[in-house]
């Protein structure tokens, strides 16, 4: 009987690990996934995001607090943008990606953004990964374009509901 219960426990372990994010209510590592819709062509969205990342490369914009600085553009094309953000105080690095997809008539752009902490032990981030993405959208003015919408939640985005992007 002992062998049967031990084997059953081994079968349950992968199921329990797979279910943990659902039980915990979010990702197991500090990260954030956000989906946006913009009522403008993707080329415009691409140009605005790349311009904003380049505008916030140095620490000047964070002298009075916040983290709207220290972005680095790693690579970019009209479909995919890769960048990094370094927190000004502790120098933590987060990897950012933006995947851009045009609507059938190219009048709208769908963007999937992802930010993840490079630090392996980061679990909670006070919404920093959300703010990494949100600050670029807001800073570029893309949150003001027609057809703008944003979709995420605490399951897809660590501590999204408590994020304070004036700090992070």
Asked if residue 2 has pLDDT above 70, the reply is no
Asked if residue 75 has pLDDT above 60, the reply is yes
What is the spatial distance between Cα 141 and Cα 103, in angstroms, rounded to a whole number?
A: 21
Res. 28 pLDDT band, cuts 50 70 90 = confident
What is the average per-residue pLDDT within 10-23? 46
* Per-residue 3-state assignment (H helix, E strand, C coil) for 107-132: CCEEEEEEEEECCCCCCCCCCHHHHH
Asked if residue 4 has pLDDT above 90, the reply is no
Asked if residue 12 has pLDDT above 70, the reply is no
What pLDDT shows up at residue 122?
82
Q: What percent of the chain has a predicted confidence (pLDDT) above 70?
A: 84
What pLDDT shows up at residue 56?
98
Res. 124 pLDDT band, cuts 50 70 90 = confident
Contact of 142 with 48, CB cutoff 8 Å: yes
What pLDDT shows up at residue 153?
97
As a whole number, the mean pLDDT across the chain is 88
Domains parsed from the chain with CATH numbers = 26-162 (3.30.530.20)
What pLDDT shows up at residue 119?
87
What is the average per-residue pLDDT within 84-111? 95
Range with lowest mean pLDDT among 10-14, 35-39, 104-108, 160-164: 10-14
What is the spatial distance between Cα 141 and Cα 143, in angstroms, rounded to a whole number?
A: 5
């Amino acid at each position: 009987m002992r062998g049967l219960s031990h084997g059953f426990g081994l079968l349950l372990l992968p199921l329990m690990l797979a279910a943990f994010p659902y039980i915990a209510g979010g990702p197991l590592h500090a990260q954030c996934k956000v989906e946006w819709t913009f009522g403008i062509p993707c080329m415009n969205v691409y140009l605005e995001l790349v311009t904003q990342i380049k505008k916030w490369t140095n620490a000047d914009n964070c002298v009075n607090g916040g983290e709207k600085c220290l972005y680095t553009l790693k690579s970019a094309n009209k479909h995919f943008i890769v960048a990094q953000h370094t927190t000004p105080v502790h120098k933590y690095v987060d990897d950012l990606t933006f995947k851009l997809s045009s609507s059938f008539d190219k009048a709208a752009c769908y963007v999937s953004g992802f930010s993840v902490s490079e630090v392996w032990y980061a679990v909670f981030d006070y919404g920093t990964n959300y703010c990494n993405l949100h600050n670029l959208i807001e800073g570029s003015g893309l949150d003001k374009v027609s057809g703008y919408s944003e979709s995420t939640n605490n399951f897809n985005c660590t501590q999204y509901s408590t994020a304070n992007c004036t700090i992070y």
